Amino acid sequence: MAEEKHEKDINRYSVSRFNMFKECPMKHHYAYVEQLPEPDNEYTLAGRLVHQAIEYILKGKDVEEVYQEWYEAVDTGKLSLPRDQLEYTINQYFTYYYHDYNTEDTILVEHEFNYQLEGDDYFNGKIDQVYMKNGFVGVRDIKSTRQQLKYTRDDVYANNQLLTYVPPTEQLIDAKVNFIEIDEIRLAKLADEVPLIQRGKPSTDKENLSLVTADLYRAELERQNLLDDPKYARVLEFLEQRGHPLFNRVAVQLSNRDLLDTNEEENQNIYKAASLDIKYKLKDKQKCFMCPYRNICMHDELAGGTKSREQLIENMR
Ligand code: SF4
């Protein structure tokens, strides 16, 4: 195999590397030991462009070039989402969070850090956003999805990535982090109308209403004089508590500061703990289906065939 150095430095540790090893040690081998290129798949491409569009807007850069990359990806079949989805999502996002972004000071955006470990090893990551609001500092992690929003406070408490990013963030900004936050974005479009069922009544099926806002549902109940009907009132209450169908921000306060002391020894322990939390899980069909190394992994020299391993790797570049 031709020796070629890719950006996956073997000494570089990261949360995504831990997660990859946990998901499949073979995949980790291809990515970090053989350092094969890892082309964007449909999901990583969409996520990367969402992050980039938000970054460009917060940094005052021209977001049009990110939209162009999205259009090209849709036109060439790399993305199976609407052509205007990114633009739509970003416009909705900044409208919805207009007040938040105007009342907080953004300190870091898409900031890459390298944190020295033992020997040549280092810990690497990219912090999506660090901001200050009312004198408190928060670390925000953006997640995009096509499914219904799902993050709860428990998920944020247990989020290894965010917790692992706290010490490097504190070192970078020379201040304590007070809370961590997940900023979940659904790549979909809001419903224009409430789905109606037989006899023209509003649907009460929560799945059916996943893209309907509480305001739209309330307006439909008003229009049909159904606001006082307990059956519909309960659905409206559910929609109000569920929140916006496309955006969900969940923050938790870091109350136990002893666990996240910024002293060096403690930090090393956090990384060690992250690396020990590895359990083997092989040949998960769903994961294999999505895996960028699938062709290499399934390649069998003895079975013959027209393509060599080198050719398959070349095709990935
Ligand atoms: S195809 Fe499956 S077993 Fe092979 S590297 Fe990918 S996830 Fe692992």
Place of tokens 């207009």: 98
The answer on pLDDT for 49 being more than 80 is: yes
The verdict on the CB of residue 285 being under 6 Å from ligand 1 is: no
The verdict on the CB of residue 63 being under 6 Å from ligand 1 is: no
Q: What angle do CA 289, 78, 65 make, to 5 degrees?
A: 135
- Please answer whether residues 172 and 166 qualify as being in contact, where contact means their C-beta atoms are separated by less than 8 angstroms: no
Instruction: Kindly list the domain boundaries of the chain, sorted by start residue.
Output: 104-190+246-279, 198-242
**Residue of 283, 285, 286 with the most ligand 1 atoms within 8 Å of its CB, for mutation:** 283
The answer on pLDDT for 284 being more than 70 is: no
Question: What pLDDT score was predicted for residue 40?
Answer: 79
- Tell me which residue of 159, 112, 142 sits closest to 9, measured CA to CA: 112
The verdict on the CB of residue 288 being under 6 Å from ligand 1 is: yes
User: Which run of H or E residues covers position 138?
Assistant: strand 136-145
**For strand 122-133 and strand 12-13, is the pairing parallel, antiparallel, or unpaired?**
parallel
Distance 300 CA to ligand 1 centre (A): 14
Phi, psi of 94 (to 5 degrees): -75, -25
In this structure, the residue with its CA closest to atom 7 of ligand 1 is 288
Distance 294 CA to ligand 1 centre (A): 6
Question: What pLDDT score was predicted for residue 304?
Answer: 61
- Read off the pLDDT of each residue in 138-164 and give the average, rounded to a whole number: 90
Distance 214 CA to ligand 1 centre (A): 42
Distance 230 CA to ligand 1 centre (A): 51
- Read off the pLDDT of each residue in 72-77 and give the average, rounded to a whole number: 96
The verdict on the CB of residue 17 being under 6 Å from ligand 1 is: no
- Read off the pLDDT of each residue in 109-117 and give the average, rounded to a whole number: 90
User: Which run of H or E residues covers position 250?
Assistant: strand 247-253
Question: What pLDDT score was predicted for residue 262?
Answer: 45
The verdict on the CB of residue 21 being under 6 Å from ligand 1 is: no
- Please answer whether residues 115 and 168 qualify as being in contact, where contact means their C-beta atoms are separated by less than 8 angstroms: yes
* Separation between Cα atoms, residue 29 and residue 8, nearest integer Å: 11
Ligand 1 atom at minimum distance from 288 CA? 2
Question: What pLDDT score was predicted for residue 99?
Answer: 95
Structure tokens at 45: 């491409």
Is the pTM here over 0.85, yes or no? no
Tell me how far CA of residue 69 lies from CA of 72, 84, 96, in angstroms.
5, 12, 24
- Tell me which residue of 51, 246, 22, 41 sits closest to 143, measured CA to CA: 51
pLDDT in tens, 216-230: 999 999 999 999 999
How would residue 258 be classed by pLDDT, with cut points 50, 70 and 90?
Answer: very low
The answer on pLDDT for 260 being more than 50 is: no
The verdict on the CB of residue 36 being under 6 Å from ligand 1 is: no
The verdict on the CB of residue 296 being under 6 Å from ligand 1 is: no
Question: What pLDDT score was predicted for residue 129?
Answer: 97
Tell me how far CA of residue 161 lies from CA of 93, 143, 189, 221, 265, in angstroms.
23, 12, 29, 42, 19
Structure tokens at 316: 């990935």
Question: What pLDDT score was predicted for residue 127?
Answer: 95
Ligand 1 atom at minimum distance from 297 CA? 4
221-226: Cβ within 8 A, 24+ apart: 224/200, 226/201, 226/202
Burial of 198 (0-12, 13-18, 19+ CB in 10 A): exposed
Higher pLDDT among residues 314 and 280, named by residue: 314
Q: Identify the three-state secondary structure at position 115.
A: strand
The verdict on the CB of residue 31 being under 6 Å from ligand 1 is: no
DSSP state of 246: S
- Please answer whether residues 39 and 6 qualify as being in contact, where contact means their C-beta atoms are separated by less than 8 angstroms: no
In this structure, the residue with its CA closest to atom 5 of ligand 1 is 27
In this structure, the residue with its CA closest to atom 3 of ligand 1 is 283
The verdict on the CB of residue 22 being under 6 Å from ligand 1 is: no
pLDDT in tens, 230-255: 999 999 999 999 999 999 999 988 86
Task: Report the chain's mean pLDDT, rounded to a whole number.
Answer: 85
- Taking phi over 0 as left and psi of -120 to 50 as alpha, with beta for the rest, 199 belongs to left
pLDDT in tens, 198-219: 889 999 999 999 999 999 999 9
How would residue 279 be classed by pLDDT, with cut points 50, 70 and 90?
Answer: very low
How would residue 25 be classed by pLDDT, with cut points 50, 70 and 90?
Answer: confident
The answer on pLDDT for 193 being more than 90 is: yes
The answer on pLDDT for 69 being more than 80 is: yes
Question: What pLDDT score was predicted for residue 235?
Answer: 97
Ligand 1 atom at minimum distance from 282 CA? 3
User: Which run of H or E residues covers position 68?
Assistant: helix 64-75
Question: What pLDDT score was predicted for residue 151?
Answer: 92
What is the DSSP track for 133-172? ETTEEEEEEEEEESS-----HHHHHT-HHHHHHHHHHHHH
The verdict on the CB of residue 27 being under 6 Å from ligand 1 is: yes
The verdict on the CB of residue 291 being under 6 Å from ligand 1 is: yes
Ligand 1 atom at minimum distance from 25 CA? 8
Question: What pLDDT score was predicted for residue 257?
Answer: 46
Question: What pLDDT score was predicted for residue 281?
Answer: 36
Question: What pLDDT score was predicted for residue 283?
Answer: 42
Higher pLDDT among residues 302 and 116, named by residue: 116
Question: What pLDDT score was predicted for residue 215?
Answer: 97
How would residue 26 be classed by pLDDT, with cut points 50, 70 and 90?
Answer: confident
The answer on pLDDT for 278 being more than 70 is: no
